[in-house]
């Protein structure tokens, strides 16, 4: 994982989220706005720097969210990255005194999804996906037919995660200047392609799943999947269900970096437990969208060298 990606992940996961998942509770009496004390039995961790840093008052331990995961769970740095990614979108509880008093009307997840316009050719979101992400029209129309895409604000796209019954559980949000996951939504799996497909291609982002589908031309019998950069129990259960299909092959098409390798290892464990075939399919670039954009760029250069003319076949000999 590049330094830019590390910093982005670090900025999206608060230390309080790690502590809450680990069973810590906030000690309101001993906390201030600048230093929030968390307790779990005799263990104490104080969160500082607006949730980005921490220290243990009973030892010399301190650091950022990654070192906190290593400190609590005793895992290697690469595993700490995976566990941090699982918490993207998780909102830890705040001290009661710091919660806003204003109340907003409650709108269900399904209502929020239905309220957004489906992707339309020529829209700002369409132009973002076609011209910046270089996703072909064929793949976008396939995703539209399966009701996976909505137009978000500021040219962004909402990409649905669905359960085994096709119910939307949440959505990845991606745009020119924004990446996130639906507030209150649950990461399950983005699914594109043959619903009963046995070749299960698992990526870390819906943009990458659609990019791989574009590179392969929506290969027959393939189901292109995204975990949304996380690994929730629901995601694992959904993958286990898919891997249990007779004749299934689990393809770990995760990123070509340390986090991608960690996810690939988990996918291999699922495949071995289910007794299905397993394959590591690594993108030639860091991720599949990078690979798609490079492929499109190379094709454009070849057309330019030919003067913009379509490919001319050699005359048949003999």
Structure tokens at 67: 């070192």
pLDDT of residue 29: 74
pLDDT of residue 207: 98
Determine the Cα–Cα distance for residues 133 and 215; give it in Å rounded to an integer. Answer: 13
| Secondary structure (H, E, C), the chain | CCHHHHHHHHHHCCHHHHHHHCCCEECHHHCCCCCEEEEECCEEEEEEHHHCEEECCCCCCEECHHHHHHHHHCCCHHHHHHHHHHCCCCCCCCCHHHCCCCCCCCCCHHHHHHHCCECCCCCHHHHHHHHHCCCCHHHHHHHHHCCCEEECCCCCEEEEEECCCCCEEEEEEEECCEEEECCCCCCCEEEEECCCCCEEEEECCHHHHHHHHHHHCCCCCEEEEECCCCCCHHHHHHHHHHHCCCCCEEEECCCCCHHHHHHHHHHHHHHHHHCCEEEECCCCCCCHHHHHHHHHHHHHHHHHHCCCCCCCCCCCCC
Decide if 16 contacts 92 (C-beta within 8 A).
yes
Determine the Cα–Cα distance for residues 220 and 240; give it in Å rounded to an integer. Answer: 22
Decide if 159 contacts 234 (C-beta within 8 A).
no
pLDDT of residue 101: 43
Decide if 185 contacts 162 (C-beta within 8 A).
no
pLDDT of residue 254: 96
pLDDT of residue 300: 87
> pTM, whole model, 2 decimals?
0.69
pLDDT of residue 90: 65
Cross-sheet strand order for the sheet of 149-151: 149-151, 157-162, 168-175, 178-181
Taken in order of first residue, the domains within the chain and their CATH numbers are 3-87 (3.90.580.10), 109-305 (no CATH)
pLDDT of residue 106: 56
pLDDT of residue 59: 79
Determine the Cα–Cα distance for residues 172 and 190; give it in Å rounded to an integer. Answer: 9
pLDDT of residue 97: 46
Other residues' Cβ atoms within 10 Å of the Cβ of residue 264: 23
Pairing of strands 249-252, 199-203: parallel
pLDDT of residue 204: 94
Decide if 276 contacts 249 (C-beta within 8 A).
yes
Decide if 52 contacts 15 (C-beta within 8 A).
yes
Q: Encode the chain (318 residues) as per-residue pLDDT tens digits.
A: 567 778 888 888 999 999 998 999 998 877 877 889 899 987 889 999 888 999 987 778 899 999 999 999 999 998 999 898 888 876 676 664 444 444 455 568 889 999 999 999 999 999 999 999 999 999 999 999 999 999 999 999 999 999 999 999 999 999 998 888 898 888 999 999 999 999 999 999 999 999 999 999 999 999 999 999 878 888 999 999 999 999 999 999 999 998 899 999 999 999 999 999 999 999 999 999 999 999 999 998 888 888 755 554 444 443
pLDDT of residue 91: 66
């Amino acid at each position: 994982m590049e330094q830019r990606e590390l910093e982005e992940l670090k900025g999206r996961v608060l230390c309080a989220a790690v502590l809450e998942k680990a069973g810590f509770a906030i000690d309101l009496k001993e906390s201030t706005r600048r230093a929030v004390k968390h307790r779990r039995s005799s263990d104490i961790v104080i969160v500082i720097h607006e949730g980005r840093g921490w220290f243990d008052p009973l030892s010399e331990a301190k650091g950022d969210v990654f070192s906190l995961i290593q400190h609590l769970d005793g895992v290697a740095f690469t595993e700490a990255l995976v566990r941090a990614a699982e918490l993207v979108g998780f909102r830890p509880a705040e001290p009661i005194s710091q919660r806003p008093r204003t109340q907003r009307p409650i709108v269900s997840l399904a209502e929020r999804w239905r309220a957004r316009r489906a992707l339309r050719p020529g829209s700002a979101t369409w132009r973002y996906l076609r011209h910046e992400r270089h996703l072909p029209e064929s793949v976008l129309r396939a995703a539209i037919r399966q009701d996976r895409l909505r137009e978000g604000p500021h040219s962004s796209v909402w990409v649905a995660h669905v359960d085994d019954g096709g119910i939307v559980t949440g959505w990845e949000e991606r745009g020119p200047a924004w990446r996130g996951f639906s507030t209150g939504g649950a990461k399950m799996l983005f699914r594109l392609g043959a619903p009963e497909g046995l070749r299960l291609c698992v990526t870390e982002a819906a943009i990458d799943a659609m990019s791989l589908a574009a590179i392969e031309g929506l290969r027959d019998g393939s189901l292109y999947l995204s975990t949304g950069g996380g690994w929730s129990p629901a995601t694992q259960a959904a993958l286990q269900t898919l891997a249990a299909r007779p004749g299934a092959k689990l393809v770990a098409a995760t990123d070509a970096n340390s986090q991608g390798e960690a996810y690939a290892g988990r996918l291999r464990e699922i495949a071995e437990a289910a007794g299905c075939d397993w394959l590591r399919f690594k993108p030639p670039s860091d991720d599949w969208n990078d690979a798609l954009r490079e492929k499109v760029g190379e094709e454009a250069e070849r057309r330019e060298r030919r003067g913009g003319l379509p490919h001319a076949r050699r005359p048949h000999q003999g």
